[in-house]
């Protein structure tokens, strides 16, 4: 029959999902949901369309309409730079189309700095036959609560098997399938309310019916960081191995499954139910940010090892030709792989890691080109109105 599996965030005491592993891993889709929980927030494409409309309106707006905020643009920009709360920045932007144009860059900057929902928190995909746990998963107080739960006597069908899965269902909160959104009555115009929702709450993208653009998810600049074990997997390694058939969200999924029983409902014969990363903390960063912030810490590139296992899982399901035409991963280090310093002496000196060579253009840039295109069209529209 097979056991059911559920994603859990130990730190937030939150869980979601509930399917057989064979219905989630090879079929795809679940990786998208996972990656939006830790991927740096992106500007929703709808916001660029709204931005173009705001630019047109701003060309017809007089400075007198700003009231007490009728100040030089430079002063308004300084005001926005002092705002660190994204909700506040979004509210001020939407007070007037001129303020939107003035504060747009600052609001976009705050979006990119917004923390992802599950970033840096203990994540796992738990099977309903889980009676043991990965070492160090729970803090002492959490383990005490779990042991107390296991010691409770069974009462009819309410506590058939006091394992970690039933403990989680009893003590954690099931994540809502859609985010709680403010009522669309803050602003008079529906477009303003939509813009506020999209701009002020980028950290809930994975909780709405929205997934960042394909080119953003598969961008080769990303690296998946295991903050607990100081290991990482490069998105460029995934692209080199399988193209865009899967992404870092699928890779993460394959490494965090945990159960006592091997009932996985997939063809793969390895121990996927004893995931090496189950219960660890994760983050996704751009390579340049990683090099700037984390280069002094000794990290291990496990891209080759992890991708060999990932290939084995998917090929066990779909055949050895999956995905058709994809290169083999064995010993393959793509050109833009960078090497971390091998010894602690070099790390302590602060030597920088080798950075990726910039490429003139690739398909991964399509999402950014779309965004720039929307802005360009908006500016052209503004110029036409001014000429009239």
Contact in structure between 287 and 355 (CB atoms under 8 Å) = yes
Q: For 123, how many CA atoms within 13 A lie in the half-sphere containing its CB?
A: 25
CA distances in angstroms from 352 to 73, 226, 301, 356, listed in the order given: 39, 20, 16, 12
Q: What is the pLDDT of residue 338?
A: 36
What local confidence, expressed as pLDDT, does residue 197 receive?
76
Dihedral of alpha carbons 61, 64, 65, 68, sign: positive
CB burial string 71-107: b at 16+ within 10 A, e below: eeeeebeeebeebeebeebbbbbbbbbbbbbbbbebb
d(CA 307, CA 238): 7
Q: Around Cβ 283, how many Cβ atoms within 10 Å?
A: 22
Residues 6+ apart with CB under 8 A from 36: 116, 117, 205, 206, 211, 212, 249
Q: What is the pTM of this model?
A: 0.72
Q: In what order do the strands lie in the sheet with 222-226?
A: 282-286, 222-226, 231-234, 300-301
Residue 287 CB coordination number (10 Å): 21
d(C-alpha 24, C-alpha 257), whole Å: 12
How much is the pLDDT for 94? 87
3-state per-residue secondary structure call for 256-301: CEECCCCCCCCCCCCCCCECCCCCCEEEEEEHHHHHHHHCCCCCEE
pLDDT at 352: 37
Predicted local confidence at residue 16, as pLDDT: 87
Token look-up 């173009």 returns 52
What DSSP string describes 9-34? ETTTTEEEEEE-GGGTTTT-SHHHHH
Q: Are strands 14-19 and 173-174 parallel, antiparallel or unpaired?
A: parallel
pLDDT of residue 359: 41
H/E stretch holding 99 = helix 97-113
Cβ pair 105, 267 in contact under 8 A: no
> Rg of the chain over CA atoms, in angstroms?
24
pLDDT given at position 196: 81
Per DSSP, what are the bridge partners of residue 289?
none
Residues 245, 248: Cα–Cα separation, whole Å: 11
Is residue 185 a contact partner of residue 193, using CB atoms and an 8 Å limit?
A: yes
Asked whether 231 and 299 are in contact (CB, 8 A), the reply is yes
| Residue 343, burial from CB neighbour count under 10 angstroms (0-12, 13-18, 19+) | exposed
Which residue shows structure tokens 């859990």?
Answer: 8
- Per-residue pLDDT of the chain in tens (388 residues, 90 and over written 9): 578 999 999 999 999 877 888 888 877 678 888 888 898 887 777 888 888 888 888 877 666 677 778 888 899 999 999 999 888 998 899 888 889 989 999 988 888 777 778 999 999 999 999 999 999 999 999 999 999 998 887 655 544 678 999 999 999 998 765 444 444 456 667 777 778 877 877 755 444 455 678 898 999 999 999 999 999 999 999 999 999 999 999 999 999 999 999 888 889 999 999 999 999 999 999 999 999 887 788 999 999 999 999 999 999 999 999 998 555 544 444 434 433 433 333 333 333 333 333 344 443 444 444 444 444 444 444 444 344 3
How many whole angstroms separate alpha carbon 64 and alpha carbon 66? Answer: 5
């Amino acid at each position: 029959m097979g056991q059911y599996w559920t994603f859990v965030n130990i730190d937030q005491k939150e869980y979601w999902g509930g399917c057989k592993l064979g219905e989630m891993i090879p079929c795809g889709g679940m990786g998208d949901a996972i990656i939006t929980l830790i991927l740096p927030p992106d500007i929703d494409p709808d916001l660029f369309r709204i931005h173009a409309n705001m630019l047109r309106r701003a060309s017809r707006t007089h400075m007198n309409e700003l009231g007490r905020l009728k100040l030089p643009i430079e002063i308004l920009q300084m005001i926005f730079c002092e705002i660190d709360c994204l909700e506040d920045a979004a509210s001020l932007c939407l007070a007037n189309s001129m303020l939107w144009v003035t504060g747009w860059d600052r609001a976009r900057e705050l979006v990119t700095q917004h923390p992802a929902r599950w970033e840096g928190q203990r994540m796992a995909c738990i099977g309903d036959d889980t009676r043991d746990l990965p070492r160090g998963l729970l803090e002492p107080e959490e383990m005490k609560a779990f042991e107390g739960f296991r010691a409770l006597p069974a009462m009819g069908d309410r506590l058939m098997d006091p394992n970690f899965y039933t403990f989680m269902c009893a003590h954690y909160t099931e994540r809502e399938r859609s985010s709680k959104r403010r009522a669309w009555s803050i602003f008079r115009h529906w477009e303003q309310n939509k813009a506020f929702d999209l701009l002020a709450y980028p950290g809930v993208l994975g909780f709405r019916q929205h997934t960042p653009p394909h080119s953003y998810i598969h961008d080769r600049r990303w690296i998946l960081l295991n903050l607990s074990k100081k290991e990482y997997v490069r998105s460029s390694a995934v692209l080199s191995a399988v193209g865009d058939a899967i992404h870092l969200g699928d890779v993460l999924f394959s490494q965090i499954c945990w159960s006592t029983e091997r009932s996985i409902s997939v063809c793969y014969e390895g121990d996927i139910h004893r995931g090496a990363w189950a219960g660890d903390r994760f983050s996704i960063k751009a390579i340049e940010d990683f090099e700037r912030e984390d280069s002094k810490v000794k990290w291990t590139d496990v891209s080759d090892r992890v991708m060999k296992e990932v290939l084995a899982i998917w090929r066990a399901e779909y055949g050895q030709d999956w995905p058709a035409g994809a290169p083999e991963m064995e010993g393959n280090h793509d050109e833009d792989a960078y090497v971390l310093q091998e010894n602690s002496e070099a790390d302590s000196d602060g030597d920088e890691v080798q950075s990726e060579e910039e490429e003139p253009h690739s398909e991964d840039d399509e999402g950014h080109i779309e965004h720039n295109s929307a802005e360009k069209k908006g500016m052209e529209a503004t110029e036409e109105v001014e000429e009239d």
